Chains A and B, each alone.
Chain A
Amino acid sequence: MTKPSLDIRSSRSNRKKNLAFQKSPKKAAGAKVNGSMVAANKGTTGKSVNKNLSAFKGLDKSTVLYMHSMMVKSRVLEERLIKIYRAGESYFWIGGPGEEAFGVPLGMLVNKGQGLAHDFLHLHYRCTPTLIAMGLTMVDAIRLMMNRATDPSTGGRNFSGHYCFPKWNVAPVTSPIEVQYPIACGTAHAQKRSGHQSLTVVTGGDAGTAEGDFASSLILASRKGSELPLLMTVQNNKWGISTSFDGQHGEKFIADRAKAFQIKARVMNGNDPIESYLCIKEDMEYIRKTGKPAFIEALVSRLYGHSSASGANPVEGEVDPVKVFEEKILREDLLTANEVKEIWRAFEEEGMKASEQARTEPVPQSSSVWDHTYVGSENADWRKF
């Protein structure tokens, strides 16, 4: 199967616009993580570049604005996916609205690439923000949502949010929760042996920590003398489908379980992208330096319920991390209201065009059902051997 070359971000019209807010700060000349080097993005807003950055704990302007734009992009994409579901163009939606303030910084900080020299990611099905920050295009997420043959993750075989990108060491997202935790120990084990300072990231929700696989990973990651370079995160939104965390968990914090295994662990506000960025960065540096695991319990929101199975309707009373961060950016004069509006509009347009594109693309054919049962699909159909 030939993968279509369409990439909304690199289409002619968007190249002309060259939206500065989509540029990764890592690639912007002069950008670095402190308040003094933001000249590269000086023209983005036309405002004084060093103004009020203390509110962002030393992160430079380009990083802050990129973070915001990726959070918006992820949110717009997820809401686009919900619309696709509601329009009857997909069978199921599950995703990550509410996890942008943790997921985006995580995606910004990984050492992205393929092979043992780069970080591996074993993500849960609310990981769209992380992948958007890593470069996921809207059209590829929509191809997955619409079960297109062109879907690069599964070829139309799996649900939305179940991404898989070998080019970035992104392991396939699974529907069974928590299985990714012991699997992540395997990639971390191989990374440690390779001698690189790469690490494995594994993410999941709070409800899944009730599974035995969570305990398995705590044990495997912390074996004395064989500790693994593993960043374990739990995005605690206090819900497991319709069941409240409070009625099921006796522990005060999930992170306390990691502490029992001598794993560096913390609880943080996952609705604050600045705090997320700094915590993840510090823990990644610790892991790369020591080869030992670290654990983050990020307290986050769940804005549209569990999935389309529960309606995918907005949930009242949850903190919206995108809005809160945006208000802060406006308050601190990093962007004007019109500039914010333009960011949302541009991503809405990108989402619309991506939907239109995916809609025209082919779906999997019945004859492909045996493909990839085995490598090379040898002996896949027993009737033929």
Chain B
Amino acid sequence: MANMAQAIRMALHYGESKLGVKDIFGQDVGAPLGGVFTATQGLKTAWNAPLDERGIIGMAMGIAMAGDRCVAEIQFCDYIFNTIDLLKIAGNTHWVTNGNYSLPMVVMTPVGAGIRGSIYHSHSFDAWASRLAGWKVVMPSNPLDAYGLMISAIQDPNPVLFMKPKALMRVRGEELIPGEPADERELKNMIDAPIGDRSKWKAKWPALTDYTVPIGQGKITRSGDQLTLVSYGRMLLLCNEVADLMKEQGASVEVIDLRSIYPYDWQMIKTSVMKTGRVLFVNEDTEVTNFGEHLVYRCVQELFYHLLARPQVLAGKHVPGIGLHPNLEDASVPQKHEIIELVKSILDEVP
């Protein structure tokens, strides 16, 4: 099975060979490195940009304005903050021009903690991104979804932010990507750049086919009827583990992989919460004005009389950064034991 980096790479190849993507660019995106997580190795349209995030986003906007398709990368989301007004402009261009211009562009960036990345390689961006009206925002939790969401992002006529949970880039999936060889070693030999001199290396791409995950469509990864866990990205895997553990203990937890932060699959959340009456939203962005708070607000507004317990959010602590030492990182972003404790307390809550 492909890992997420390989899945994204294959989706980008599909984009440049079948969907008209003409530029895949950013810092270290082109040869020889092919991306700090190797997600852009071997791509014919990949090129290295100057170390300038605003230049990268601005250029992507111009390419889109000219009618060409591109995928731009900010190497880590920790460095996207100085582009925030350009992202805002990209999001409002279609609106403020009354539909005159659209900006079909994809920006991808690794997010989240989990690799001991210290203060500037551990940020999350989903809460910030959810405030960028005009953008669609997605985050996969497995390679197949990464492939399908990237193809959807490339095909979308709007700007799309594709967040890569960096701690999952080497995690393999459970389902084959359409066209992917079943043998992991065969795939590696085909599309992973060799160590050392890569100047003459070219990727041999499998016969990939179209596969999309519609933006705005979540997925139920565990079925249950006592509590709903809603998450995405790296935290989704923890939620799955918690649901499995709770099942062993006799509790039935439903897990929703939101996959899209905006637009989000409210109907899936609503249906589940109306069934369970209890809900916990889990993500690792900081907790004050967290995206999960918006979802809690909506649950309270629309599902108040279906609730059996207070809807809650488990998110990153409202601290300025993620400290390098594991004790600091683990105290800053949600941990599995915290999810378990909170799930149990919500299940124990008597209305």
Residues of A within 8 A of B (CB): 1, 115-116, 120, 122, 151-155, 157-158, 162, 164-166, 171-172, 174, 176, 179, 181-191, 193, 200, 212-213, 216-217, 219-220, 223, 371-376, 378-379, 382, 385
Contacts and interface: CB of A to CB of B under 8 A. Distances in A.
A189 B54 contact: no
Nearest to B85: A176
Q: Which 7 A-B pairs have the closest CB atoms?
A: A186-B62, A182-B58, A155-B98, A190-B66, A379-B263, A216-B55, A375-B157
Nearest to B135: A374
Contact of B65 (A151, A176, A187, A372): A187
11 contacts: A120-B65, A157-B96, A157-B98, A158-B96, A179-B58, A182-B55, A185-B62, A187-B66, A188-B62, A190-B63, A379-B263
Interface string B130-159: 000110100000000000000000000110
B202 interface: no
Interface of B: 22-23, 50, 52, 54-55, 57-68, 85-86, 89, 93-102, 104, 133-134, 136, 157-158, 216, 262-264, 266-267
Contacts of A158: 96
Given A216-B52, A216-B55, A223-B50, A186 B99 contact: no
Contact of B89 (A1, A176, A212): A176
A124 to B, nearest CB: 14
A181 B54 CA distance: 10
Contacts of B133: 373
Contacts of B158: 374-375
Contacts of A372: 94-95, 97-99
A181 B98 contact: no
A114 to B, nearest CB: 10
Contacts of A183: 58-59, 61-62, 65
Contact of B97 (A154, A181, A185, A379): A154
Contacts of B66: 116, 120, 186-187, 189-191
Contact of B22 (A164, A193, A212, A379): A193
A188 B55 CA distance: 13
B63 A186 contact: yes
B97 A182 contact: no
Contact of B86 (A115, A179, A184, A223): A179
A171 B134 contact: no
Contact of A172 (B50, B63, B93): B93
Given A166-B101, A182-B58, 14 more contacts: A116-B66, A172-B97, A172-B100, A181-B58, A182-B86, A184-B62, A185-B62, A189-B23, A190-B66, A191-B66, A193-B68, A216-B55, A379-B263, A382-B262
B50 A185 contact: no
B100 A189 contact: no
A220 B50 contact: yes
A92 B68 CA distance: 35
A219 B50 contact: yes
A244 to B, nearest CB: 26
A119 to B, nearest CB: 12
Contact of A189 (B62, B157, B262): B62
Given A184-B62, A379-B216, A153 B55 contact: no
Given A189-B62, A385-B266, A371 B50 contact: no
A190 B61 CA distance: 11
A212 B95 contact: no
A379 B158 CA distance: 12
Nearest to B63: A186
A165 B104 CA distance: 18
A375 B94 contact: yes
Contacts of B63: 186-187, 189-190
B100 to A, nearest CB: 5
A374 B216 CA distance: 13
Given A193-B22, A220-B50, A185 B67 contact: no
A268 to B, nearest CB: 26
A193 B66 CA distance: 11
Given A153-B100, A164-B97, A185 B52 contact: no
A27 to B, nearest CB: 26
Nearest to B134: A373
Given A157-B98, A182-B54, A373-B134, A220 B59 contact: yes
Contacts of A219: 50, 52, 55
A334 to B, nearest CB: 39
Contacts of B102: 375
B94 to A, nearest CB: 5
A120 B64 CA distance: 13
Contacts of A176: 85, 89
Given A116-B67, A187-B63, A373 B50 contact: no
A182 B98 contact: no
A301 to B, nearest CB: 29
